[in-house]
Structure 1
Amino acid sequence: MKTTLFKMTMGLGIMVLAAQQVQARTCAPREDIMKRLTETYGETRRSIGVARQGTVMEVYASDQSGSWTITVTLPDGITCLVASGQAYEDMVEALPPNV
């Protein structure tokens, strides 16, 4: 479990850093990004997490098209697109037993 949490934390950290690096090209006010994801792609929020310094990471996806988008919202309300793709699938996996 500790390994899984570590990997998830590291992944989130990398996404936040990536969002900060490409902010000029893929960022906009949160309301604009949310409107586009829902109206254009039919995506809804599937998960959320809080990173350092009040940064919020969210995953949006569409059951109809399978499209997905990962966003990071900075404390100033600017939301950045971090990654997107196809073939989104909800999964619930049991954690491995403690060894």
Structure 2
Amino acid sequence: MKTKLIKMTMGLGIMALAAQQLQAQPRNCAPREDVIKRLEEIYGETRKGIGIARRGALMEVFASDETGSWTITVTLPGGATCLVASGQSYETLADALPAQGKDA
């Protein structure tokens, strides 16, 4: 359990760093509606997770339950949505939270 928590924390840190880099060098970016439409129509991916990164950037995870493909996007405050990462073998986990008052 502790290892999973560490991996998840590191993953979120990497996504936050990627969001910072995107603000400096917007590549692979398009209007949000176009990106979401493409992810859904071509890859069958729907939104599975969401978070707020630095400076108001919106980080989202899209994935397909059928194929296991996944994509991480960051939408900048100006409206552009940029691709951060993508891959295969996405799985939804439902880990139990630690009891109150106990460390993970």
Question: Which bin holds the TM-score, normalised by the shorter protein?
Answer: 0.7 to 0.9
1:67 aligned partner, one-letter code: S
Structure 1 residue 39 corresponds to structure 2 residue 44: no
Aligned partner of 1:98 in structure 2 is: 103
Task: Give the match's secondary structure for 1:39.
Answer: helix
Displacement of 1:8 in angstroms is 5.4
Displacement of 1:13 in angstroms is 1.6
Displacement of 1:86 in angstroms is 0.4
Separation of aligned partners in 2, 1:9 and 1:85:
16
Question: Which ranges of structure 2 fall in alignment gaps of 5 or more residues?
Answer: none
Q: Hey, which bits of structure 1, 4+ residues long, moved more than 3 A?
A: 3-9
Displacement of 1:11 in angstroms is 2.6
CA contact (8 A) 1:30 1:77 kept: yes
Separation of aligned partners in 1, 2:78 and 2:62:
20
Aligned partner of 1:29 in structure 2 is: 31
What TM-score do the two structures reach when normalised by structure 2?
0.79
Aligned partner of 1:20 in structure 2 is: 23
Separation of aligned partners in 2, 1:84 and 1:48:
15
**Match for residue 61 of structure 1 among 47, 60, 63:** 63
Task: Give the match's secondary structure for 1:49.
Answer: strand
Aligned partner of 1:88 in structure 2 is: 90
Paired residues, number: 97
Separation of aligned partners in 2, 1:69 and 1:98:
31
Separation of aligned partners in 2, 1:9 and 1:59:
11
What TM-score do the two structures reach when normalised by structure 1?
0.82
How much is the aligned-residue C-alpha RMSD, in angstroms?
2.4
Aligned partner of 1:10 in structure 2 is: 13
